[in-house]
């Protein structure tokens, strides 16, 4: 009987041990299954990339949001970006994450730098769960090094010395993402600009904006326009260079003197002629006078012409005294649209001048800049409206009217009769 009791006791102990072993084996499996089930409720819910399209060597960010839609907390060991093409600058930031509770969200921000050529890349977001494997999610990332486009839409072929010329630029964005803080700055040796820079702001994809600078060039040089802009937080610059030639073929006003006459009455010398604006812009406040060794005197020490449009002209007449000189400088002063003063000097020869008291029949002086038809005779109108001989015309008209009146009244008949009846010798 004792033998049977001992055998029964051993069987009971063995059975209990078997049950305990089975429980120890099943419990971890059930726990792992439960953790994996909870982890399956964690998913990527948002991705934000800044800038949207990287340029080579740009620094930017990838922000990835996850949400736990389950009813249990999920333990997360670490999160990282797995890639061989892109440098992750903060790769150890999320080596220890913690848990995400039920219904909660969490965001991971990775700072990256594409050290690669243009193209499309897919770095892998990797989320390592503590008890239930991992989550992998590819992120689409584009690299395109295309810069802004800068072109000249309007510029003079030749710049006039010291004259402001208009240069118009077109700034366009051929990229697939917007760029910010677009600013254009002109520069160059001998270059002056009325604007130190022009701020454009944001340029959306395929957008174009036009700006105009007032540029003054003092010599032959190179005009450079630096276009700076930001792609995300990254500063970039595009440069356009334009060769500048300074000469006489610009668009500025240009004063030309012709039909010059010089006469003298006593000690006073009178210089008359026409001044023409042969340029492409208006000339303001045009004045004509003489310089040393001549001395301007009354009645016309300075002749004020006023404004001259392109291809417009006006007559002038200045009076002066001069001793011991064969030539005198004729000075034409004028202003541009911005009020800048310009001066043109023409050398006038005094040789061969008419010594009479009036200018009738006077011929242009030898050595003058240019000469036209002489202003002689009663009907010598000249080239300007100010030179029409109004007084002479009025006298002729009055004489014609008087003759017609006498003829109508019969006064001329008696005069003619007396002449006919006069005895012949």
Does the domain formed by 255-387 have CATH 2.60.40.10?
A: yes
**CATH classification code of 149-247:** 2.60.40.10
pTM for the model stands at: 0.61
Q: Can you give the pLDDT at residue 416?
A: 57
Residues of the chain with pLDDT under 70: 1-33, 248-251, 352-392, 394, 405-407, 409-425
Q: Can you give the pLDDT at residue 385?
A: 42
Q: Can you give the pLDDT at residue 21?
A: 55
Q: Can you give the pLDDT at residue 198?
A: 97
Q: Closest Cα to residue 126, out of 112, 139, 115? A: 139
Report the alpha-carbon distance of residue 399 to residue 142 in Å, rounded.
95
Q: Can you give the pLDDT at residue 161?
A: 78
Domain boundaries, the chain: 42-143, 149-247, 255-387, 389-425
Q: Can you give the pLDDT at residue 154?
A: 92
Both tokens of 131, joined, read 């008890």
Q: Can you give the pLDDT at residue 211?
A: 97
Q: How far, rounded to the nearest angstrom, does the alpha carbon of residue 314 sit from its chain's CA centroid? A: 36
* Residue 330 neighbours by CB distance under 10 Å: 25
Q: Can you give the pLDDT at residue 29?
A: 45
Report the alpha-carbon distance of residue 146 to residue 163 in Å, rounded.
37
Q: Can you give the pLDDT at residue 352?
A: 54
Residues in the chain: 425
**CATH classification code of 42-143:** 2.60.40.10
């Amino acid at each position: 009987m004792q033998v049977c009791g001992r055998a029964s006791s051993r069987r009971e102990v063995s059975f209990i041990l078997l049950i305990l072993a089975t429980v120890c084996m099943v419990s971890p499996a059930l726990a792992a299954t439960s953790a994996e089930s909870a982890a399956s409720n964690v998913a990527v819910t948002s991705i934000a990339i800044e800038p949207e399209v990287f340029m080579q060597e740009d620094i930017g960010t990838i922000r990835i949001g996850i949400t736990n839609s389950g009813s249990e907390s999920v333990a997360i060991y670490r999160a990282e970006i797995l890639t061989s093409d892109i440098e992750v600058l903060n790769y150890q930031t999320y080596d220890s994450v913690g848990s995400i509770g039920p219904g909660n969200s969490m965001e991971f921000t990775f700072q990256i730098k594409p050290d690669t050529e243009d193209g499309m890349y897919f770095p892998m977001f990797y989320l390592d769960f503590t008890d239930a494997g991992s989550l992998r999610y590819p992120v689409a990332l584009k690299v395109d090094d295309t810069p802004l486009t800068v072109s000249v839409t309007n510029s003079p072929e030749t710049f006039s010395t010291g004259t402001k010329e208009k240069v118009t630029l077109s700034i366009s964005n051929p990229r697939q993402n917007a760029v910010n803080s677009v600013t254009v700055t002109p520069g160059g040796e001998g270059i002056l600009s009325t604007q130190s820079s022009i701020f454009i702001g944001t340029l959306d994809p395929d957008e174009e904006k036009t700006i105009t600078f007032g540029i003054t060039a003092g010599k032959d040089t190179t005009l450079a326009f630096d276009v700076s802009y930001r792609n995300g937080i990254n500063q970039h610059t595009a440069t356009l260079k334009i060769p500048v030639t300074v000469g006489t073929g610009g668009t500025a006003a240009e004063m030309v003197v012709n039909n010059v006459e010089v006469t003298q009455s006593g000690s006073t010398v009178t210089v008359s002629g026409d001044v023409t604006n042969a340029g492409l812009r208006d000339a303001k406040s045009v004045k004509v006078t003489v310089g040393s060794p001549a001395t301007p005197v009354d009645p016309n020490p300075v002749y004020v012409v006023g404004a001259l449009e392109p291809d417009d002209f006006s007559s002038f007449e200045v009076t002066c005294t001069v001793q011991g000189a064969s030539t005198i400088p004729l000075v034409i002063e004028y202003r541009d649209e911005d009020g800048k003063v310009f001066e043109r000097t023409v050398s006038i020869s005094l040789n061969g001048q008419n010594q009479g008291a009036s200018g009738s029949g006077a011929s242009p002086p030898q050595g003058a800049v240019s000469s036209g038809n002489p202003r002689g005779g009663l009907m010598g109108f000249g080239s300007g409206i100010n030179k029409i001989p109004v007084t002479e015309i009025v006298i002729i008209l009055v004489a014609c009217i008087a003759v017609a009146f006498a003829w109508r009244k019969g006064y001329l008949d008696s005069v003619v009769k007396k002449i006919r009846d006069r005895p012949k010798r």
